[in-house]
């Protein structure tokens, strides 16, 4: 647990107050993990909400962004099977079907028979889908860059490295 000295005048966030409350009632607890994950959770929620707003300008949700972005990252011809998409996004096939239905109705992707397997489908970005995802990814990156503006380049790199280590260590 990190306990701030009384003389510490550095900025405080809501997690500091929570840690101090726990220290007062349970001084035996090591709240180091709570300090880290409380902040990660708060950042995730705050930035997730901001990203949702950025994507909403393009008529898509974060989940739909993920589908379009996965197709876009796959490279030309921007085509994957529903199974490949659901595996990449860790979604059930039912969850994927709902997203694909909505995106297809919006004209952002199309489903067609797989020319190599009559039993399978393939999902392809349309020209409108390509335009939307290119604009949406830029808008999302602008939100993320704005948040990172509170760190210098070295700090941002260190944070990325530390989070990578944590992700790899937890098998996420």
pTM for the structure as a whole: 0.85
33 within domain boundaries: no
Q: What average pLDDT is seen over the chain?
A: 92
Q: Are 129 and 108 in contact (CB under 8 A)?
A: yes
Give every CB contact of residue 71 below 8 A, 6+ residues apart in sequence: 78, 79, 80, 85, 109, 123, 124, 125, 129, 133
122 within domain boundaries: yes
CB atoms within 10 A of CB 114: 14
110 within domain boundaries: yes
25 within domain boundaries: no
CA distance 66 to 86: 10
Residue with the two structure tokens 């929620």: 45
> Can you point out the beta strands (E) in the chain?
79-80, 109-114, 117-125
Kindly give the confidence (pLDDT) of every residue in the chain, 172 residues in length, as a single tens digit, with 9 standing for 90 and above: 555 555 577 888 999 999 999 999 999 999 999 999 999 999 999 999 999 999 999 999 999 999 999 999 999 999 999 888 988 888 888 888 999 999 999 999 999 998 888 888 999 999 999 999 999 999 999 999 999 999 999 999 999 999 999 999 988 7
Look up the domain containing 130 and give its range.
59-149
The count of structural domains within the chain is: 1
99 within domain boundaries: yes
166 within domain boundaries: no
How many residues does this entry show for the chain? 172
CATH label of the domain that carries residue 118: 1.10.10.10
């Amino acid at each position: 647990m990190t306990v701030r000295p009384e003389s510490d005048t550095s900025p405080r966030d809501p997690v500091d107050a929570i840690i101090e409350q726990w220290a007062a009632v349970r001084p035996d607890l090591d709240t180091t993990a709570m300090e880290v994950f409380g902040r990660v959770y708060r950042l995730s929620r705050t930035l997730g909400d901001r990203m949702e707003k950025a994507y909403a300008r393009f008529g898509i949700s974060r989940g739909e962004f993920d589908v379009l972005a996965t197709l876009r990252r796959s490279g030309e011809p921007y085509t994957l099977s529903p199974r490949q998409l659901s595996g990449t996004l860790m979604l059930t096939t039912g969850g994927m079907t709902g997203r694909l239905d909505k995106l297809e109705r919006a004209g952002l992707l199309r489903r067609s028979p797989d020319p190599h397997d009559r039993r399978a489908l393939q999902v392809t970005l349309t020209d409108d889908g390509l335009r939307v995802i290119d604009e949406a990814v830029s808008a999302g990156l602008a939100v993320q860059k704005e948040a990172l503006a509170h760190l210098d380049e070295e700090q941002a790199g260190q944070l990325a490295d530390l989070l990578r280590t944590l992700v790899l260590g937890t098998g996420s």
